[in-house]
Amino acid sequence: MPELPEVETVRRGLVPVMENAVIAQADVNRPDLRWPFPERMSERLTRARVTSLRRRSKYILADLSTDETLLIHLGMSGRMLISGDPLGQFLNDHPAPEKHDHVVFHMDNGARVTFNDPRRFGAMDLLETATANEHPLLASIGPEPLGNDFHEDYLVERLNGRKTPVKSALLDQKIVAGLGNIYVCEALFRAKISPKRHVNKLSAARIRTLVPIIREVLTEAISAGGSSLKDFRQADGELGYFQYSFDVYGREAEACRTPDCNGRIARITQSGRSSFYCPQCQR
């Protein structure tokens, strides 16, 4: 499932063709994805202007001139693909419709944005903009890791006394928004903290080191266009390439990249997810 860097990469790709443009026509080609689409979705989107495109955790939020906000979740295989961009950034002619083109936005500037999702684990909903942050999917999400509310004192306070593994704590969306399995593995490697280490066994000083490292990993991943594993594509159809910078994720049995470390990357299962780490230098 796309994590924060992938969703942010898609959002940034959509901004030039959707923000401040009007949805001339919205084609909704099925009644549902992960859950049913809202009533009259096509009608409510058609002729609405996209006043801003923002991201909250792993959700893209398109604020509309109708005082509604379109919530988009990419799910496992969802893609937002742009064609016919009048700004000349994508150079793609409109392709022939495909089987899994579930929602298509025809923008008044000549661009077309297609939500294609073969597995149909993605989702869309329409929320009242004024109360969007109170939606059940958004209300309990923690601060954005690249925002000012996520800082060393905050993380120390939220993790204080917890007896869960640090990996599980950082995946908790109520503590920090948007972090997923890949980037928590990579951040813990850079911090030299084992994913098995329980939070109550970590000093405040070690917890503090996680904040700048998490920001560093996410910033690098966004700059690289995210990580393309299986289905992810950027809005222009191109692959992300941060996967070529992975230190641990997916590198089971390969040599650790830490200088003078003779360890090899191990994989364990935590809460049904694979954790990759170096047993030698992550403690």
Domain boundary among 108, 134, 160: 134
The CATH number given to whatever domain includes residue 261 is 1.10.8.50
Q: Is 89 exposed, middle or buried (0-12, 13-18, 19+ CB in 10 A)?
A: middle
CB 112 within 8 A of CB 105: yes
Catalytic option among 3, 8, 68, 186:
3
Which pLDDT does position 23 carry in this prediction?
98
Give yes or no: residues 119 and 186 share one domain: no
Has 6 been annotated as catalytic? Answer: no
Has 230 been annotated as catalytic? Answer: no
Helix (H) or strand (E) segment spanning residue 115: strand 112-116
Has 257 been annotated as catalytic? Answer: no
Number of domains in the chain: 2
pLDDT in tens, 35-74: 999 999 999 999 999 999 999 999 999 999 999 999 999 9
Has 112 been annotated as catalytic? Answer: no
d(CA 44, CA 54): 20
Kindly state the percentage of the chain with pLDDT values over 70: 91
Give yes or no: residues 44 and 127 share one domain: yes
In a domain, 283, yes or no: no
Catalytic option among 12, 197, 215, 273:
273
DSSP code of 31? S
Give the residue from 216, 137, 150 showing the smallest Cα distance to 183: 216
Q: What is the dihedral of CA 222, 224, 228, 234, to 10 degrees?
A: 70
Domain span at 43: 4-134
Give yes or no: residues 29 and 58 share one domain: yes
The CATH number given to whatever domain includes residue 14 is 3.20.190.10
Give yes or no: residues 204 and 84 share one domain: no
In a domain, 189, yes or no: yes
pLDDT in tens, 208-235: 999 999 999 999 999 887 775 555 445 5
pTM (2 d.p.): 0.90
Amino acid at 216: E
In a domain, 141, yes or no: no
Catalytic option among 58, 112, 233, 251:
58
